[in-house]
Amino acid sequence: MAHINDNFLKLKAGYLFPEIARRVQAFAQTNPDAQIIRLGIGDVTEPLPQAVVQAMHAAVDEMGKRESFHGYGPEQGYLWLREKIAEHDFQARGCEIEADEIIISDGSKCDTGNILDIFGPDNTIAVTDPVYPVYVDTNVMAGHTGPANDDGEFEGLIYLPATAENDFTPEIPKQRVDIVYLCYPNNPTGTVASRETLTRWVEYARVNNSIIFFDAAYEAYITNPDIPHSIFEIPGAREVAIEFRSFSKIAGFTGVRCACVVIPKTLRAKSNSGEDISISRLWMRRHTTKFNGVSYITQRGAEAVYTPDGQAQVHGLVAFYLENARIIREGLTEIGLEVYGGVNAPYVWVKTPGNVRSWDFFDQMLSQTHIVSTPGSGFGAAGEGYFRLSAFNTRENVEEAVRRLRKGLRV
Ligand SMILES: *Cc1c(COP(=O)(O)O)cnc(C)c1O
């Protein structure tokens, strides 16, 4: 008989979102009249910006004519899109990033998982806790960890707790690690990292020859002008960081699929024989072998984000979700809850009252107010005693949710 990759068996059976879905379904079955509001999963709700829609329509028409049809494009993405990204998202912020350091893909979820293909099995890996579960689970699948303990922490990974006590800025580890995942603005806590914090991480990585995997999926939500949007705004980051960018949360592309990895040509790591190898060349080799490019239509849609109309429209979208976040944040604060995030991110991270456990509070909120949250413990042991609310919803639902919480939540 063939063999499976046994590492998959280490993954916890009750993964967070299926477990939420199971509990919500059970509740809906016994309470068929309840109007459930889902502030759990972080998926956008607003339609695509008009500039994107028009560009995609035009691209479909091109594809429908022999003279302008496109087959396979470059696996790493069309240069016209990579140039726009380099110019608008990086050079305009003073980052020294060129178009050939940007590789287009169909999503940051895939990129943050796939990147492990080009790194060896013996790296020491650190994640913040709570954390986007993809970073952890892909390391488990790749065999980089032992089994999980009762708190769901995997042996061999280094967890850096982010809690209210440290202002959601985990302490820089005392030991050296080879790879650290940072996500700012953060999912799930909705908090950001200051320029000083990111500078300390870059200095740490330079001293220790570590690599920072920087997930900037929510950079468009930054409202505070002092907060960096890219790790490459920090001097010295070109030798120590990879950045992940996505059109999902800025332009409503969760169902369209377009993202990119930014790997400076100056980033290197060691081979077994002690040679310094270019990470960007390895990633390009991997990407062009295992991936055949994002569709022409999608890339034309992504390009339209950088037109003046596109920019105005995506700023409108982001402002809309941030206003939702403000309504949630202020509503919960008035109830007397301890609330974090939601200013530079579409997530609000809330302490459960009286240290109630996350899943217990999830059930309580669902039964008392018919609102679905995400239990903090699902993102890691340090998330226990917190829950996450997402601002990705209609204004109507958000206002109704806050009304219900004010009226119905007994804290
Ligand atoms: C939503 C999200 C992404 C984007 O994922 P896509 O695959 O590009 O849709 C990346 N990282 C984090 C932390 C996210 O929450």
Residues near 160 by beta carbon (within 8 Å), at least 6 away in sequence: 126, 127, 128, 129, 170, 171, 173, 180
Query: Which tokens hold the place of 201?
Result: 């991480």
Last residue of a domain, one of 275, 306, 337: 306
Q: For residue 393, what are the domain limits? A: 6-47+309-408
Contact 326, 342 (CB under 8 A): yes
Residues near 261 by beta carbon (within 8 Å), at least 6 away in sequence: 102, 103, 105, 111, 115, 242, 243, 244, 245, 283
Shared domain check, 105 and 175: yes
Shared domain check, 317 and 286: no
Reported as a pLDDT band with limits 50, 70 and 90, residue 18 is: confident
Q: What's the start-to-end Cα distance of the chain, in Å? A: 55
* Distance between Cα 202 and ligand 1 center (Å): 23
Shared domain check, 249 and 286: yes
Indicate the average pLDDT of the chain.
Answer: 96
Reported as a pLDDT band with limits 50, 70 and 90, residue 212 is: very high
Torsion of CA 193, 194, 200, 204, to 10 degrees: 20
Last residue of a domain, one of 253, 285, 306: 306
pLDDT tens readout for residues 291-300:
999 999 999 9
Q: Is 359 in the pocket of ligand 1 (CB under 6 A)?
A: no
Reported as a pLDDT band with limits 50, 70 and 90, residue 368 is: very high
* Distance between Cα 179 and ligand 1 center (Å): 19
* Distance between Cα 145 and ligand 1 center (Å): 23
* Distance between Cα 109 and ligand 1 center (Å): 5
Shared domain check, 91 and 145: yes
pLDDT tens readout for residues 376-404:
999 999 999 999 999 999 999 999 999 99
Last residue of a domain, one of 271, 306, 341: 306
| Share of the chain residues as helix, strand and coil, in percent rounded to the nearest 5 | 45, 15, 40
Nearest CA to ligand 1 atom 12: 217
Alpha-carbon 266 to chain mean position: 25
Q: Of the residues 17, 132, 136, which should be mutated to test ligand 1's pocket, given the most ligand atoms within 8 Å of the CB?
A: 132
For residue 153, pLDDT over 70 is answered with yes
Per-residue model confidence (pLDDT) at position 409: 72
The residue type found at 194 is S
Q: Is 215 in the pocket of ligand 1 (CB under 6 A)?
A: yes
Shared domain check, 332 and 253: no
Q: What angle do CA 229, 232, 238 make, to 5 degrees?
A: 165
Reported as a pLDDT band with limits 50, 70 and 90, residue 176 is: very high
Shared domain check, 153 and 272: yes
* Distance between Cα 47 and ligand 1 center (Å): 18
Asked whether residue 1 is domain-assigned, the answer is no
* Distance between Cα 335 and ligand 1 center (Å): 31
Per-residue model confidence (pLDDT) at position 41: 79
| Whole-angstrom Cα Rg for the chain | 22
Shared domain check, 389 and 351: yes
Q: Is 388 in the pocket of ligand 1 (CB under 6 A)?
A: no
Split into its structural domains, the chain has a count of 2
Peptide bond into 170 cis (omega under 30): no
CATH number for position 162? 3.40.640.10
Asked whether residue 182 is domain-assigned, the answer is yes
Query: Which tokens hold the place of 136?
Result: 């952890």
Contact 139, 116 (CB under 8 A): yes
The Cα–Cα gap between 87 and 99 comes to 8
